[in-house]
């Protein structure tokens, strides 16, 4: 396939003629008017010509033609066409045969610029140069098809810009789209798509002629007829050509039956940005579809049925047109204004273009400033990517409409056209079916993680991590897991209780509003119920082997915080219970308080302590001191902020009670225990190094003074002060 | 979002999904968590030299992976409560 043909010119002046010849015919009359510049002897063109037949002679011929075109353009469009200083005359871009640029019915779709073989047709019109020529073998066919069209249809040569009845190439419409080399877009699509009813052949409007973006050579309409055995579209998915049969896609190709053509719109990659910019001009002649020439290097689809000019790649038997793409953009095209021949390009852009042109068979700069921005490989790559995105295992689920629509169309066609060899089969773009499904584990459990690890898939982009504890059977190996499970359970429970606590706090805050008595009572009851619920939940945790009431929760910092916030709501007796639990298990708590969350319990416990009776206080103190023989608990407490503070708080409260004069109602032995405790504590405090407590009560020294001698007191004082760093106690 | 609103004017570090970390002063935030930072610098190794000349930036919310907040500006307990409340509301 010789797409590479002509473009191979070294000089800039080369290509313009070739390219875009999409024959855009804007009006029927135009067609008549248009005198194909190309040799009228279109039929004489040898069918045997091979696209590869580029030789110097051809090049020369092309050069000549270019000049002619230039002249024509100048005449038609004025001198300003040639901006880029190419050797070609201005206005190489669109050249219609001899068409004056007819205004297209709706806003001039700057469609393809058909090459306008203007002036003297050069002999080698039959250039095999069409870029997008079909494989050599097919050219003949195409020609034959063309034969009937007559003069105006001589735009076989893609290089020739003339389009009498072509469909404006999409590229033409969008100056930014270019690459004539890769004629991916077939302008034709739009035509078919948009205006099923308009069979007019329109000439490309003058604006199109001026549009340097027109690249695609469309061979169009000539004969196009229902020849539709060609499917147009230079679908960029040339890479998929090989898989035609398998491709399926969401590019439905519309078939406009009324035209008698089973033209297909080129399948366009839906996502292709370029394509989307292509304006669909309803008015574009439908006929043109077939004639797309891609001046690409890609081989044409090799189906025999394709006309030589078919650049369109046919994917599979029925490649649908990507119609959806065109419809919205059809209007947009109309407002699209092409830069025209005088396109001021950014110097870098120019440089880039010229570079690319060197690489590709090119087109003159002024012809199409945006062509060859991407290499063929890049285009193929993108096309492939886009096709991959189309793959689906459930086509009926994901693209129901398309599947169904084409199924019906095909059924209808089969019914109607039994005799015809599938010429009218609607083209469908088929993407490869995915046969294998990757099975993914939606839930991945990693050891040590909290619940499930989020595995992101396209079906579930993110799975929330949930602290779910799956109950597992206990096994030797699962001891550790069990611990973790337990921890997770505890945490999960805490979270649930937190929610309740938040409600409690909320109602507490709302209590400031004045409510009726009944309401208040009800609220209070509710709150109490909630509080009780939390309390009981904290108290008993399964499995109960975790150490007793509350302990599992207290060991977790979040649990500590929960309890700390719960305490104010608890009644004194329940709160006392908690206090005792804390003091009893202080060593454990202190040792496992890795996050140092214990201090959070201090303020509420202090309040609780403040409400203790003397006996209760003594009880609490007993827990502190009655532990092991070595007063381990006391020692540890001195080393721990919380422990020490708690101790201080207890002592301070005792002192307060004692000095307050309130009848203490002590139980038997309370005072003794009290005194003993004082001594013990004093001894301990003076010996160990103390940490700074959270709060140093002011009456401690007074307490000590009462029981201890001055020396000890002094020692204590200095010890305590050194810890706190300031003179906290009255001497 | 209210949290981030409360942090306007503070220094934050925004880590993006492309692993770029940007430190800057939070200028504004919107409902999509688009972030405007002023006086930015790339915190981690300056392997993104293209940011050297940038002083202010607008970051689209969808590309943010983390926003690192100053620890002392945020009341974590309050934040936890807010999150719990929001979770509660969503369930209902």
Nearest residue on chain B to A561, alpha-carbon basis: B77
Q: Choosing among B76, B78, B81, B87, which should be mutated to test the A contact, i.e. which has the most A CBs within 10 A? A: B81
* Spatial separation of the C-alpha atoms in residues A98 and A607, rounded to whole Å: 101
Q: Report how far residue A129's alpha carbon sits from residue A60's, in angstroms, rounded to the nearest whole number.
A: 12
Give the gap in angstroms from C-alpha A565 to the nearest C-alpha of chain B: 11
Min distance A558 CA to chain B CA atoms (Å): 10
**Contact residues on chain A for B84, CB-CB shorter than 8 A:** 495, 498-499, 502
Contact A292, A307 (CB under 8 A): no
What span, in angstroms and rounded, lies between the C-alpha atoms of A175 and A110?
8
pLDDT at A730 over 60: no
**pLDDT score for B58:** 94
pLDDT, tens digit, 9 for 90 and up, residues A399-449: 777 777 777 788 888 888 776 654 555 556 666 555 555 565 656 666 666
> Closest-CA residue in chain B for A505?
B81
Predicted pLDDT of residue A144: 41
Q: Do A502 and B88 touch (CB under 8 A)?
A: yes
Please state the three-class secondary structure of A217-250 as a single string. EECCCCCCCCCCCCECCCCCCHHHHHHHHHCEEE
* pLDDT-based confidence at residue A543 (cuts at 50, 70, 90): low
Q: Do residue A498 and residue B84 have CB atoms under 8 angstroms apart?
A: yes
Stronger pLDDT, A366 or A311, i.e. the higher one: A366
pLDDT number for residue A476:
55
CB pairs under 8 A between A and B: 12
Q: What is the pLDDT of residue B5?
A: 72
Given a contact cutoff of 8 angstroms between Cβ atoms, the answer to whether A168 and A292 are in contact is: no
Domain ranges for chain B = 1-90
Which of A491, A496, A499, A556 best tests the B interface by mutation, with the highest count of B CBs <10 A? Answer: A499
Pick the most confident of A92-106, A444-458, A597-611.
A597-611
pLDDT the model gives residue A615: 81
- The C-alpha torsion from B45 through B46 and B48 to B53, rounded to 10°, is 150
Percent of chain A surpassing pLDDT 90: 0
* B contact test, residue of A464, A498, A505, A534 with most B CBs within 10 A: A498
pLDDT, one tens digit per residue, over A235-282 is 444 444 444 434 444 444 444 434 444 444 444 444 444 443 444 444
Query: What average pLDDT does the structure give for chain A?
Result: 60
Contact A325, A268 (CB under 8 A): yes
* Segment A65-92 mean pLDDT: 56
- Phi first, then psi, for residue A11 (nearest 5°) are -95, 165
pLDDT of residue B63: 94
Backbone angles phi, psi at A111, to 5 degrees: -90, -145
Which of residues 20 through 79 in chain B touch A, CB cutoff 8 A?
A: 77
More confident residue, A452 or A293: A452
pLDDT at position A572 over 70: yes
Distance between CA A215 and CA A208 in Å, rounded? 11
Fold of B1-90: SH3 type barrels. (2.30.30)
CA B48 to chain A, closest CA, distance in angstroms equals 25
pLDDT band at A345 (very low <50, low <70, confident <90, very high): low
Alpha-carbon span A14 to A195, nearest angstrom: 34
**At residue A524, does pLDDT exceed 50?**
yes
Nearest to A368 by CA among A17, A654, A649: A17
Q: Which residue has the higher pLDDT, A332 or A464?
A: A464
Quick one: three-class SS letters along A489-516? HHHHHHHHHHHHHHHHHHHHHHCCCCCC
Confidence of residue A452 (pLDDT cuts 50, 70, 90): low
Sign of CA dihedral B34, B40, B44, B48: positive
A496 CA: distance to closest CA in chain B (Å): 9
Instruction: State yes or no: pLDDT of A564 exceeds 80.
Output: yes
- Tell me whether residues B84 and A561 touch, CB distance under 8 A: no
Instruction: Kindly report the nearest CA distance between residue B91 and chain A, in angstroms.
Output: 12
pLDDT band at A472 (very low <50, low <70, confident <90, very high): very low
Query: Contact A217/A291 with Cβ under 8 angstroms?
Result: yes
Complex ipTM: 0.75
* Chain A touched by B17 (CB under 8 Å): no
A499:B84 CB<8 A: yes
Omega before A657 cis (within 30°)? Answer: no
Cβ(A623)–Cβ(A582) below 8 Å:
no
Classify A79 as helix, strand or coil. helix
pLDDT for A141-183, tens place per residue? 444 444 444 444 444 454 444 444 444 444 444 444 444 444 4
Q: CA nearest A82: which of A94, A91, A73?
A: A91
Nearest CA in chain A to B77: A561
State mean pLDDT over A631-656. Answer: 80
Calculate mean pLDDT across residues A677-683: 80
**A348, pLDDT greater than 50:** yes
Is B88 within 8 Å of A498 when comparing Cβ atoms? Answer: no
Q: What is the pLDDT of residues A689-703, one digit of tens each?
A: 777 777 877 787 777
Q: Is it the case that residue A362 has pLDDT exceeding 80?
A: no
The shortest C-alpha distance from B41 to chain A (Å) reads 31
Residue-by-residue pLDDT tens, chain B, 92 positions = 666 777 788 899 999 998 888 999 999 888 888 999 999 888 777 767 677 788 899 999 999 999 998 888 777 787 788 888 878 777 77
Beta bridge partners, A248, equal A430
- Measured between CA atoms, how close is A561 to chain B, in angstroms? 9
Q: What digits encode the pLDDT tens for the residues A701-713? A: 777 777 778 887 7
Q: How far apart are CA A237 and CA A469, in angstroms?
A: 50
Mean pLDDT of A183-197: 42
Closest Cα in chain A to B88: A499
pLDDT score at B57: 92
Assess whether pLDDT exceeds 80 at residue A529.
yes
Please report residues of A whose CB lies closer than 8 A to that of B87: 499
CB-based contact B81 A502, cutoff 8 Å: yes
Number of residues written out for chain B: 92
In this prediction, residues A462-490 reach a mean pLDDT of: 65
Q: 3-state DSSP call for residue A281? A: coil
The model's pLDDT over A493-513, given as tens digits with 9 standing for 90+, comes to 888 888 888 888 878 777 766
Q: How many residues does chain A have?
A: 731
B77/A498 CB distance under 8 A: no
For A316-340, write each residue's pLDDT tens digit.
444 444 444 444 434 434 444 444 4
Cα gap A339→A360, rounded to integer Å: 23
């Amino acid at each position: 396939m010789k797409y590479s043909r002509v473009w191979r010119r070294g000089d800039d002046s080369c290509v313009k003629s070739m390219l875009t010849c999409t024959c855009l015919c804007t009006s029927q009359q135009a067609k008549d008017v248009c005198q194909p510049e190309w040799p009228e002897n279109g039929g004489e063109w040898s069918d045997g010509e091979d696209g590869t037949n580029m030789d110097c002679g051809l090049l020369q011929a092309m050069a000549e033609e270019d000049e002619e075109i230039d002249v024509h353009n100048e005449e038609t469009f004025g001198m300003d066409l040639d901006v880029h200083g190419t050797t070609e005359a201005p206005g190489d871009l669109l050249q219609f045969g001899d068409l004056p640029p007819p205004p297209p019915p709706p806003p001039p779709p700057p469609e393809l610029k058909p090459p306008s073989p203007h002036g003297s047709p050069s002999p080698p019109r039959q250039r095999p140069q069409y870029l997008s020529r079909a494989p050599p073998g097919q050219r003949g066919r195409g020609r034959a098809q063309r034969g009937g069209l007559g003069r105006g249809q001589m735009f076989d040569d893609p290089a020739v810009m003339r389009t009498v009845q072509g469909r404006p190439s999409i590229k033409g419409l969008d100056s930014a789209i270019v690459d004539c080399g890769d004629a991916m877009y077939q302008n034709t699509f739009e035509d078919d798509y948009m205006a099923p009813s308009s069979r007019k052949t329109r000439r490309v409007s003058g604006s199109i002629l001026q549009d340097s973006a027109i690249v695609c050579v469309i061979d169009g309409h000539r004969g196009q007829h229902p020849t539709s055995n060609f499917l147009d579209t230079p679908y960029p998915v040339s890479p998929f050509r090989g898989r035609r049969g398998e491709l399926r896609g969401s590019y439905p190709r519309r078939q406009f039956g009324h035209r008698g053509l089973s033209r297909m719109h080129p399948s366009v990659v839906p996502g292709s940005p370029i394509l989307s910019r292509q304006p669909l001009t309803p008015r574009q002649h439908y006929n043109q579809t077939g004639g797309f020439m891609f001046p690409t290097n890609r081989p044409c689809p090799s189906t025999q049925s394709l006309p030589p000019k078919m650049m369109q790649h046919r994917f599979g038997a029925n490649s649908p047109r990507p119609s959806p793409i065109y419809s919205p953009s059809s209007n947009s095209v109309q407002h699209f204004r092409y830069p025209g021949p005088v396109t001021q390009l950014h110097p870098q852009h120019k440089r880039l273009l010229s570079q690319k042109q060197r690489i590709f068979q090119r087109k003159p700069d002024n012809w199409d400033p945006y062509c060859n921005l991407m290499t063929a490989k890049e285009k193929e790559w993108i096309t492939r990517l886009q096709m991959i995105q189309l793959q689906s295992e459930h086509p009926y689920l994901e693209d129901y409409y398309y599947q169904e629509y084409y199924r019906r169309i095909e059924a209808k066609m089969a019914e109607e056209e039994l005799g015809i060899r599938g010429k009218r089969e609607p083209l469908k773009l088929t993407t490869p079916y995915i046969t294998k499904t990757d099975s993914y584990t939606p839930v991945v459990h990693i050891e040590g993680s909290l619940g499930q690890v989020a595995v992101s898939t396209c079906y579930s982009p993110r799975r929330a991590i949930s602290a779910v504890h799956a109950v597992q059977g206990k096994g030797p190996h699962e001891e550790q897991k069990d611990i973790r499970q337990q921890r997770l359970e505890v945490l999960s429970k805490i979270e649930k209780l937190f929610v309740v606590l938040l409600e409690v706090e909320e109602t507490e805050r709302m209590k400031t509003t004045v409510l009726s008595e009944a309401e208040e009572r009800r609220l209070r009851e509710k709150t109490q119920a909630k509080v009780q619920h939390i309390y009981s939940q904290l108290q008993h945790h399964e499995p109960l082997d975790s150490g007793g009431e509350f302990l599992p929760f207290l060991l977790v910092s979040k649990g500590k915080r929960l309890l700390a916030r719960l305490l104010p709501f608890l009644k004194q007796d329940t709160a006392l219970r908690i206090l005792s639990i804390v003091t009893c298990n202080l060593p454990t708590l202190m040792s496992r308080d890795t996050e140092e969350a214990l201090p959070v319990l201090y303020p509420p416990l202090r309040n609780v302590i403040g409400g203790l009776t003397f006996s209760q206080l003594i009880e609490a103190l007993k827990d502190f001191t009655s532990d092991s023989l070595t007063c381990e608990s006391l020692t540890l407490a001195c080393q721990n902020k919380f422990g020490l503070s708690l101790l201080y708080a207890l002592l301070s409260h005792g002192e307060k009670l004692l000095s307050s004069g309130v009848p203490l109602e002590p139980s038997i032995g309370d005072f003794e225990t009290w005194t003993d405790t004082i001594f013990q504590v004093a001894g301990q405090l003076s010996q160990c190094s103390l940490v700074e407590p959270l709060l140093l009560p002011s009456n401690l020294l007074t307490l000590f003074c009462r029981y201890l001698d001055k020396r000890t007191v002094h020692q204590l004082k200095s010890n305590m002060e050194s810890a706190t760093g300031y003179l906290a106690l009255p001497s | 979002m209210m949290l981030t609103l409360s942090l306007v004017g503070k220094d934050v570090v925004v880590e993006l999904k492309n692993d770029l970390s940007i430190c800057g002063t939070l200028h504004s935030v919107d409902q999509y968590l688009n972030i405007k930072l002023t006086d930015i610098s790339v915190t981690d190794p300056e392997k993104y030299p293209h940011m050297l000349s940038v002083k202010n930036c607008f970051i689209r919310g969808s590309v943010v992976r983390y926003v690192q907040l100053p620890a002392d500006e945020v009341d974590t307990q309050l934040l936890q409560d807010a999150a719990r409340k929001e979770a509660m509301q969503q369930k209902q």
